[in-house]
Chains A and B, each alone.
Chain A
Amino acid sequence: ELKVEQNPLFLSMQEGKNYTIYCNYSTTSDRLYWYRQDPGKSLESLFVLLSNGAVKQEGRLMASLDTKARLSTLHITAAVHDLSATYFCAVPSGNTPLVFGKGTRLSVIA
């Protein structure tokens, strides 16, 4: 059974600082998704990582995938308040289309 673990689950960071969120998964997969969710809202697709070594950047967020280590990272550069949200990684498996991590609740404070 595929398990997806994120850490940290809660993150409070100051504006302007950098930080990395980690996503580990337990079985082989060659793709991984990152989503952002604001409270009570839908899941907004951030990144689709399709192969080993994939790296994608959008604004202050950069995601990477290491399929051999079964690890993805979401790096935040110079955080701003607008990045406050919950971030989920998700991995597709054979029997379950997407298995999500528990989410990282990010709060960016001045």
Chain B
Amino acid sequence: AAGVIQSPRHLIKEKRETATLKCYPIPRHDTVYWYQQGPGQDPQFLISFYEKMQSDKGSIPDRFSAQQFSDYHSELNMSSLELGDSALYFCASSPGLNTYNEQFFGPGTRLTVL
């Protein structure tokens, strides 16, 4: 069965640079969620989209922005990167807007900021 695809899988950036992470949800899933997991931490919800509109917002820094496109893929744009942004970034998808629907997680993008 098709799963959530994230790219790139690994990314190394310098401080103050920008990064773009991409997420391709499971086919026919119209809701996408972004989570950030720091080293040794639990995943923290950043932001979610349903039908190309932002649906919920969590602890996403103002330096980050995200959007969902007409084909339902989503991109997380990160600017003025800081050392503390180094983390695993997960995308998850689900069918429908109900937050109680099970979310299916992608493999993650490991971002390292030097």
Contacts and interface: CB of A to CB of B under 8 A. Distances in A.
A101 B106 contact: no
A42 B43 contact: no
10 contacts: A40-B88, A42-B106, A42-B108, A43-B43, A43-B90, A45-B104, A97-B33, A97-B48, A100-B43, A103-B42
Nearest to A48: B102
Given A43-B43, A97-B99, 10 more contacts: A40-B88, A41-B107, A48-B102, A92-B99, A95-B56, A97-B48, A98-B99, A100-B43, A101-B42, A102-B42
A33 interface: yes
Given A40-B88, A40-B110, A97 B45 contact: yes
Contacts of B8: none
B96 to A, nearest CB: 12
Contacts of A43: 43, 90, 105
B4 to A, nearest CB: 9
Interface residues of B, number: 22
Q: Is the interface of A mostly helix, strand, loop or mixed?
A: loop
Contacts of B102: 33, 45, 48
A99 B56 CA distance: 13
A101 B106 CA distance: 19
B42 A100 contact: yes
Contacts of B88: 40
Q: Which of the listed residues B44, B45, B48, B88 has the most CB atoms from chain A within 10 Å of its own CB? A: B45
Contacts of A96: 45, 56, 58, 99
B90 A42 contact: yes
B54 interface: no
